[in-house]
Amino acid sequence: MLFFCVALFFYCSLSAPKWHELEGYTFEQYEHDFRKVYTQDEREDRRALFLANLNSIKRHNKDGAFTWKQGVNRFTDRTMQERKALNGGIPSHNVKLHPNQPTHIDLAAFEEVGAVDWRAKDVITSVKDQGDCGSCWSFGSAETVESYYALATGILSDLSEQQILDCTPNPNDCGGTGGCGGGTAQLAFARIMAMKGIATEWTYPYISYSGKNYQCHVDSNTPAFTLVDEFYTLPKNKYAPVIAHLATEGPLAINVDASAWSSYEEGVFDGCNMTNPDIDHVVQLVGYGVDDKLGPYWLVRNSWSAAWGESGYIRLRRHNDEHNCGIDLKPGDGTGCNGGPSSVTVCGICGILYDTSYVKASKPPK
């Protein structure tokens, strides 16, 4: 994934104003709130970008037709091209269905559950922040392994995104060029299996926040905390298997088009381009529910820090919308490899149903 992926664990929650406090907000305040440092030549260009984006945010928030609000964050002084330089995804090739995947799903039974939130089950680690590295593919995959290891053992621990970034070859340019240049969660899962496990964040810490790549330094002395025994994908572009898995099994690593997410602050988002969505970001789907005023939603964990969105999460409009599909004309931005198809059909809000994966995790042998 080449676009929005970025992360750091100890990112401070900055004192930025909320969407309803933006009247009179200045570029100088923005510089202070987000600790921005520019060169003299750059500063005026950033000011112009900030003011244009701020005006767009204000116009959006005044329009009562929208079910979500936009706000300022660290992306407000960036161009769309810069925002899209930070993403990654899960490829649709060489996937494996779980052998026990049911052929018939009683959808009504899972709809009646009303709400599922895996955070309440103590299997979701704290929201992380990729920084300026296109590493969402390593974050979405590590988070998924964390959750399934916790489900299997009762032990929740942060795992090493950096090990995935440093040690995962990407010869076919699947979802990018590897490292901070993008990759896929499927590559990450397979590589963890090949490495006989993954270390914790504390023994192999994340250092690529600024966007720099590093050499792999896994050796016989690197302790593996978690094994990936196998990984699976749910049926492509199908609503029922996704909601059933969330209700009964656990969270999912998903691919989405996050190109319109950068200014999101709160509410139920449905602002994606569903004609030609560009799948470009790996995140974790952790639940679903119904807002009393705004209706049904998917609950998605992002990796742009807890200062973004709803404490690091976004709620996406949820429908049984496997027939609400578009054509992704750039599969290589998030899911495709060299030699793959030039376009793919993706369904669900922001392409959320297109490719959803999970793992079987266990303890390493002593």
- Rounded Cα–Cα distance for residues 122 and 90 (Å): 25
Among the listed residues 302, 325, 337, 347, the single catalytic one is 302
Among the listed residues 5, 53, 87, 136, the single catalytic one is 136
DSSP designation for 230: E
Dihedral over Cα of 299, 305, 311, 317: its sign: negative
Look up 281 and say whether it is catalytic: yes
Q: Using CA atoms of 155, 149, 355, 100 in order, give the dihedral in degrees to the nearest 10.
A: -130
Beta strands in 198-280 (DSSP E): 227-233, 252-256, 264-269
Among the listed residues 167, 281, 325, 350, the single catalytic one is 281
- Which one, of 185, 346, 349, lies nearest residue 261 by Cα? 349
Q: What DSSP letter does each residue of 48-75 carry, written as one string?
A: HHHHHHHHHHHHHHH-TT-SEEE---TT
Burial class of residue 95 in the structure, from the number of CB atoms within 10 Å of its CB (0-12 exposed, 13-18 middle, 19+ buried):
middle
Look up 245 and say whether it is catalytic: no
- Which one, of 281, 287, 289, lies nearest residue 250 by Cα? 287
Cβ within 8 Å of residue 274, ≥6 positions away:
324, 325, 326, 349
- Rounded Cα–Cα distance for residues 230 and 227 (Å): 9
- Rounded Cα–Cα distance for residues 161 and 180 (Å): 11
Look up 217 and say whether it is catalytic: no
40 - beta bridge partners?
Answer: none
Which active-site residues does the annotation give? 136, 281, 302
